[in-house]
Every structure is written in structure tokens, then in C-alpha cells.
Structure 1
């Protein structure tokens, strides 16, 4: 199964989840890019991801499991920032966006994975963000609220809004959208913009 099929599954999910449609229209400027695969330790965990999704998210999980080896996986953070154990059990790839497998300047779509028992510390970024939990679960924290999300749950973060996430006894596989200013930027550890600058 290919990343083109993963893109189609993401498009289908977009059409089926009201929260995704409300966040942004599906991009109309997608163009394939010759982005070579890049492996990370957690890639195999995604290929073997066995936790169930919802009827809406399961098709995307299925395509990601089989196409994990074709993705250009990356890690934003250093060992000094998050620790070696975190880096062994975390990673993401840009399915579509300014530097993704499919290029778009309208919207950025990531696939991101965190293994069990991880603390994704406070960070922020300029772009607005919507998480969709595909399978597994995690605790999502912001200064205003915190909640535990399972498959099908969504979480919205505003631009430069500090947020964090913790996984428990199981991992979490997510689909993440960015929109607006800072679309091509990166998250900054430390939460608030002034603290991270």
C-alpha cells in the first residue's frame, strides 16, 4: 500500500469528520513530491500498530501500517530536549504541506506517533493545530483545560497556545493539521513564545 492511498484515506477521513471540515477545507493544490523514505526507531511500532480505531479512523490506520516504510519520518527535537527514550518511541512525517510527500501551501497534515509512557512536554507554535486521535489514547493538556482522548477524539490548539501531552499504558497514533500563519514553522519547546525565543 502506498502513501497515495494514505492520502486518499486522509481525504476520506476529512470528509467524514465534521471537526476536520470545520478546521479547514481539504487542500486543492496538492502536488506529489519526490521525497525519499527516512527511517526512525519508532517507524516499526507504527507498522505494527494494533490498537483499534473507529469506523472513521481505521482505514487511515490500515494504510499507515502498510506504508510506514515509505514515509520520510523525522524528529523535531534533540536528545537534550526530550531524552533518548522519547526519541526511540516518537516520530512523525508530513503527509502533505510545504515540505511533505504531497506539497500544499494551504494546509499541513502530519502523521505523528508517541509510544506508551511518554511525556511530550510543553511547547507551542505559530500555526493553529487540530489533533485527531486515530488509535490509542493520550492526555492532552493546555493551560485552560486537560482531557483524555481516545480514537476519534479531537483537540484544537490556537497559535502560540502552550500545550503538552502524556501517553499512558498504550501508545497513540494521531493525524494532525496545521493552518494559518507559521504553516512551515516548527514547534518550540518551553511553551510560550517568549520563553522559547
Structure 2
């Protein structure tokens, strides 16, 4: 599995490298990951028992030619990512942890330990709302598979495979899937990548 993860990291950097050549806010965030030195792993990747596993096969089916290589690199690793959902429970959405989560590869609690930067993948099932939330970290997403409505500071837009989305520090944002699951690469950067997201 370690070889698959190493290939996934390499392919992820390769994918972001082209966007990193554009000198704007998104390009600068992409460049941070491309230039990041990845430490040796301090943890292992075991087969996940997360309820999100049931979405994996469908979640990789809605990519594009642009994201195909990265999805191919990601596919064998998906069942072994450390999928989690660690928000406080919501009485109005009690099954949310069964419908969305993230598998972090690099970060403070990830198998590749880094106290100052995070990298991983977010997965939402079909017809799932990731409610409005915010966090201190600056967050970069690139959609790999699936159409979804992305909302930032009250402005909504449908985003698809290959599109980059930047969430500045502490700006409120949300995502809503419809008929397709969503699979996206994310990074977190900034002075605080430890403090978890909070719902609005």
C-alpha cells in the first residue's frame, strides 16, 4: 500500500504543478503543496471500516479526461485512507457522518506527519449537504469527480472536475451534492491547521 500512496502523492503534486505556474491566490496555494517536502510516514494505512467506503466505486465514475490520471492513482488507495468525520453531532442531520468525510494523508494527525500543512481527499455521497462552516486554515480544493454546488460567502456556483476552489481563512462555505457523489483533493495551509472546522 505504501507504494500506492507514494504514487498518489507524486501524481497529486504533478496535477497541481500546472496550476501552480499561474501567479494568483489559487496558484500560490497549489505551489505550497508542490514545494512541500513530504516526510517519511510515521503511521500506516489500514483497510478502512468507514461507512464512506460504500460510495467509493461510484465516486470515481464522474471524473473528466483532465482528472483521469489522478483518479487512477487514487483508486487503489481509497479503501485504505484514514476516513473520518469529527464534527460535533447535529440533531438535524444525525447521519451526516455516514455521508461525508475526509481521508488525510499529510497533517498533524495523518500517517505522514506535518504540523503546518494538510493534504487529503474529501468525499460526499449523493444528495448530501456539507453544511456552512469555517476554519482558520486557508483551504484549496480541486474537484476530481462529481458535480456539486459550492457556496462561499453566500455566492453559489456549480463546480465540476478539474475546477479549483479557494476558501480563505475563516470564510463561511458549504457544498451540496445532487445525483453524483463528490470526490475532491484538498490542502490546508496557514498559521493554524490544527483547529477543526465549526458549523455556522
TM-score interval, smaller chain = 0.7 to 0.9
Deviation at 1:5, TM superposition (A): 2.0
The answer to whether 1:109 aligns with 2:107 is no
The answer to whether 1:89 aligns with 2:91 is no
Pairing of 1:38-53 with structure 2 (within 5 A): 38-53=48-63
| Alpha-carbon displacement from aligned partner over 1:110-155 (angstroms, at most 9, x marks no partner) | 2010011111111100011111101101111122522110001111
Q: Which residue of 1 aligns with 2:183?
A: 173
C-alpha contact (below 8 Å) 1:139/1:146 kept by paired residues: yes
Unaligned runs of 5+ in 2: none
8, 17, 29: which is aligned to 1:6? 8
After TM superposition, which residue ranges in structure 1, 4 or more long, deviate above 6 angstroms?
none
| Alpha-carbon displacement from aligned partner over 1:25-77 (angstroms, at most 9, x marks no partner) | 22124321213434211123124434242334222222322112221111122
C-alpha contact (below 8 Å) 2:123/2:183 kept by paired residues: yes
Deviation at 1:78, TM superposition (A): 4.0
Pairing of 1:64-143 with structure 2 (within 5 A): 64-80=74-90, 83-143=93-153
Equivalent pairs counted in the alignment come to 190
Unaligned runs of 5+ in 1: 191-197
SS at match of 2:105: strand
Closer, same or farther in 2 for the Cα pair 1:55/1:103, shift >3 Å?
Answer: farther
Q: CA RMSD in A?
A: 2.1
142, 146, 166: which is aligned to 1:156? 166
TM-score w.r.t. structure 2 length?
Answer: 0.84
C-alpha contact (below 8 Å) 1:47/1:66 kept by paired residues: no
The answer to whether 1:22 aligns with 2:35 is no
